[in-house]
């Protein structure tokens, strides 16, 4: 069974190279949206701890509410995105997320502030975020030529990783400054600006695929359409292995992050701002990872780069439960953990997304992206619940150790399997090697 087809993506319907300005506009919009969206994701559980005195289990529920819609919403989004305008879907997703945050802040001002309100807002943000992520990754190949995909994905994934490590610091500062749900107002403005910026893009998208089911076959056709992306990923050896590794990593990574938010405040006695700052300082790892992608590809090859990068991201959190000493030392140790974590995750994601975009036909890219993300991110809510339960019944430090041990075990198994794929994807290796940085 071949891992990767030799297909060449066509960046536009008329064969012309899209204007570089379009990618820059897209990049700018994604940067704003990722920063605001990921900050909101961290702000909700922080508000649960600071404003509602939530238990570890309740914090896990807030995190889970943001992740539960990922599986079903992502699969549906993949089909929808391949049949409608990807840019329009991306714009609408940004605007509706902003509206959701505004509604949350407004409801709080009116005195509605139960913990369930955070869960409801998190659920809607998770569903709309799934649509935005699928639409964004499917839209990108329309903006750049195939031989620039790796470079463009490096920039996008670097921006995403930077947003991921910057978001806790921003969220912590906003929560400290407002001491309430008012912290979400700047995040809503960021999402509004991201949605508005997409109107400046001029590149034409591929014509959406439209199919009509025969009479009496609509339910079966709908099911086959929704699961088409899953069947493509499952039938591709390399994509199948990558999605299993991603799902396992996200399961226990989310357990670590859920525990860390409570552990940092209640065991290490750090403020919410310092807890976020330690994660934000990990942005250095993201920068290092973005510069290392091409060098690692040349020296180690695609498969070994994947093994090394996900190994670094899996091993790094072991520092968190070991951190001790004066506050500056503790924050520095936690930040070092997130530096290594950011480095590994950035490199792994760049290669993983590029592999997927090279492997999938353009007409099915939305569905393949959705299937991959549905499985990979569908475990996040489980990790949030698992982390909360581990913290409540094992203790925060013991729960962190257990989650990190599971991360490392998954990496060891996956690395053995990835080594067997080292020579099984010649078309992919040649494509990525020919992509100038």
Domain membership flag for residue 344 = yes
Lowest mean pLDDT among 40-44, 161-165, 322-326: 161-165
CATH code assigned at 52 = 1.20.1250.20
Give 180's DSSP letter. S
- Is 170 inside a domain boundary? yes
Q: Is 0.85 surpassed by the pTM of this model?
A: no
Kindly state whether residue 217 falls inside one of the protein's structural domains: no
The per-residue pLDDT for 48 is 76
pLDDT higher than threshold 80 for residue 16: no
Would 14 be classed as within a structural domain?
no
**Average pLDDT in the 410-419 region?**
86
Output 33 or 47, whichever has higher pLDDT.
33
Q: Does residue 405 lie in a domain region?
A: yes
- Between 388 and 428, where is the model more confident? 388
Tell me, yes or no, whether 261 lies in a domain.
yes
> Residue 246 in contact with residue 309, Cβ under 8 Å?
no
Query: Lowest-pLDDT range, 6-20, 92-106, 330-344, 356-370?
Result: 6-20
* Residues whose CB falls within 8 Å of the CB of residue 240, separated by 6 or more in sequence, listed in order: 233, 234
- By CB atoms closer than 10 A (0-12, 13-18, 19+), residue 37 is buried
- What's the structural domain count of the chain? 1
Tell whether 11 is covered by a domain.
no
pLDDT digits (tens, 9 = 90+) for 59-73: 777 877 887 776 667
Report if residue 9 sits inside a domain.
no
- Whether the CB-CB separation of 278 and 331 falls below 8 Å is answered with yes
pLDDT at 315: 92
Kindly tell me if the per-residue pLDDT of 9 is higher than 80: no
Closest to 318 (Cα-Cα) out of 336, 342, 345: 336
Backbone angles phi, psi at 208, to 5 degrees: -60, 140
Q: What share of the chain has pLDDT > 70, as a percent?
A: 81
- Average pLDDT of the residues of the chain: 77
- Between 54 and 117, the more confident residue is 117
Helices (H), 140-270: 149-178, 185-197, 218-234, 237-266
Minimum mean pLDDT among 153-157, 198-202, 253-257: which range? Answer: 153-157
Top-confidence range, 9-23, 181-195, 220-234, 361-375: 181-195
* Domain interval for residue 34: 20-201+225-433
């Amino acid at each position: 069974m071949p891992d990767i087809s030799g297909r060449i993506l066509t960046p536009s319907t008329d064969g012309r190279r899209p204007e570089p300005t379009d990618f820059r506009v897209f990049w700018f919009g994604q940067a704003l949206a990722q920063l605001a969206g990921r900050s909101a994701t961290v702000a909700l559980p922080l508000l649960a701890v600071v404003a509602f005195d939530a238990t570890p289990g309740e914090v896990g529920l807030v995190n889970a509410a943001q992740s539960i819609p990922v599986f079903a919403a992502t699969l549906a989004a993949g089909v929808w995105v391949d049949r409608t305008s990807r840019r329009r879907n991306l714009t609408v997703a940004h605007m509706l997320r902003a509206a959701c945050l505004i509604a949350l802040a407004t409801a709080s001002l009116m005195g509605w502030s139960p913990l369930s309100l955070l869960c409801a807002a998190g659920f809607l943000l998770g569903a709309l975020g799934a649509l935005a992520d699928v639409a964004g990754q499917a839209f990108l190949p329309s903006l750049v030529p195939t031989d620039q995909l790796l470079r463009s994905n490096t920039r996008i994934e670097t921006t995403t990783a930077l947003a991921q490590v910057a978001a806790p610091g921003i969220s912590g500062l906003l929560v400290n400054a407002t001491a309430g749900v008012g912290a979400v107002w700047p995040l809503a403005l960021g999402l509004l600006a991201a949605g508005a910026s997409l109107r400046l893009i001029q590149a034409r998208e591929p014509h959406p695929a439209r199919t009509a089911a025969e009479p009496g076959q609509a339910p079966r056709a709908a099911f086959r359409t929704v699961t088409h992306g899953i069947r493509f990923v499952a039938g591709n050896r390399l994509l199948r292995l990558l999605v299993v590794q991603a799902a396992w990593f996200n399961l226990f990574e989310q357990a670590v992050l859920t525990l860390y938010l409570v552990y940092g405040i209640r065991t290490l006695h750090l403020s919410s701002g310092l807890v976020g700052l330690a994660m934000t300082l990990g942005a250095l790892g993201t920068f290092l990872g973005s510069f290392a992608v091409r060098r690692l590809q040349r020296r180690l090859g695609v498969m070994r780069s994947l093994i090394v990068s996900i190994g670094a991201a899996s091993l790094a959190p072991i520092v968190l439960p070991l951190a001790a000493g004066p506050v500056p030392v503790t924050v520095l140790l936690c930040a070092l953990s997130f530096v290594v974590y950011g480095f590994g995750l950035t490199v792994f994601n760049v290669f993983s997304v590029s592999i997927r975009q090279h492997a999938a036909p353009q007409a099915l890219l939305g569905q393949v992206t959705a299937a991959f993300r549905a499985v990979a991110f569908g475990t996040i809510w489980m990790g949030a619940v698992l982390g909360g339960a581990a913290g409540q019944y094992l203790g925060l430090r013991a729960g962190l150790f257990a989650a990190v041990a599971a991360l490392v075990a998954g990496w060891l198994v996956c690395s053995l399997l990835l080594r067997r794929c080292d020579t099984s994807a010649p078309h992919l290796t040649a494509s990525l090697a020919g992509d100038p940085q």
